[in-house]
Amino acid sequence: MKLNTYFNFAIFSAAALFTEGCVNQPYYQVQAGYANTDHPKDLGGHIDLMCLRARGGTRAEIKKPSEQEFDPVGKEKFRLGADICYGKLPDSSSKQSYSVDIPVVGEQETDIQGVTSSNLVKIAIPFLEYKYFGLEANFPGEALRKHPIHSNIEKDLSLNLWISGGYTIDFSVSETDYSTSGGSINNIPGVDVDGKFYGELTNEVTLFGKLPLSMSLRLDQDAKLTPSLLGGYKIQW
């Protein structure tokens, strides 16, 4: 019931952006950082990922017709975007034996050994990211607010808690070298694709309205947890 309330409010907020009494201030932000995840090919360890996160949304103000004033309505209540992460999977090896019937000599066994190197590309797309909680304040004094790094729209410090649900796709891209007693075959490509639904909780601190620092915890449908730390830059106009 509570989740339905969140989505209904998000839909209402989106509809409000297109009404005549709204002033929209779109923004986007890009962050880079680190994440850690599990994978079937991690050989019992964890996979380190370098990640790039992009988000876009809008800050809306509704104008009161009677008073000709502007009221803030849930700044950045929702946003959309995508995450792209890259990591190196551990190399793996395999060995298979085959029987070969050779004329005159007869049946002989031969071994085929394979060494596989793999990379992981993880793409996550949130269906909707909704701000569940937010606080904002200004630091004492006026000096910082006159600095070019300071936003003319936002306050000095904001703390926001975002919740989201989406779908993540893992691409395991591999190359395998095979060798036998009679020679070798190198760089045989391969790719495995796996997709999962997930939920995510993000705690985000934004300094001066332009420097977002985030810590996220993502839980997929297989109960695998992926924590991440990211920092970047936010642009509004």
Which of 52-66, 88-102, 133-147, 219-233: highest mean pLDDT?
219-233
Q: pTM here?
A: 0.74
Higher pLDDT, 98 or 81: 81
Lowest mean pLDDT among 90-94, 194-198, 208-212: 90-94
Handedness of CA 12, 15, 17, 20 (dihedral sign): negative
Per the domain annotation, does 184 fall within a domain?
A: yes
Q: Which helix (H) or strand (E) holds 163?
A: strand 157-180
Query: The domain spanning residue 82 has which CATH number?
Result: 2.40.160.20
| 82 — pLDDT class (breaks 50, 70, 90) | very high
Cβ burial of 27 (10 Å; 0-12, 13-18, 19+) is buried
pLDDT at 188 over 60: yes
User: Alpha-carbon distance 178 to 166, whole Å?
Assistant: 39
Per the domain annotation, does 140 fall within a domain?
A: yes
Q: How many domains does the chain have?
A: 1
Per the domain annotation, does 16 fall within a domain?
A: no
Question: Average pLDDT over the chain, rounded to whole?
Answer: 79
Average pLDDT over residues 207-222: 93
Per the domain annotation, does 157 fall within a domain?
A: yes
Do the beta carbons of residue 144 and residue 93 sit within 8 Å? no
User: Alpha-carbon distance 49 to 39, whole Å?
Assistant: 12
* Residue type (1 letter), 98: Y
pLDDT reported for residue 12: 43
Per the domain annotation, does 7 fall within a domain?
A: no
Per the domain annotation, does 208 fall within a domain?
A: yes
| CA-closest candidate to residue 128, choices 161, 165, 167, 75 | 165
pLDDT at 213 over 90: yes
User: Alpha-carbon distance 214 to 157, whole Å?
Assistant: 13
pLDDT reported for residue 3: 42
Taking only the tens place, the pLDDT of each residue in 100-139 is 556 655 566 667 787 888 899 999 999 989 999 989 888 8
Place of tokens 């730390």: 229
Per the domain annotation, does 22 fall within a domain?
A: no
Per the domain annotation, does 80 fall within a domain?
A: yes
| CA distance from start to end of the chain | 36
**Owning domain of residue 156:** 28-236
Which of 32-46, 65-79, 201-215: highest mean pLDDT?
201-215
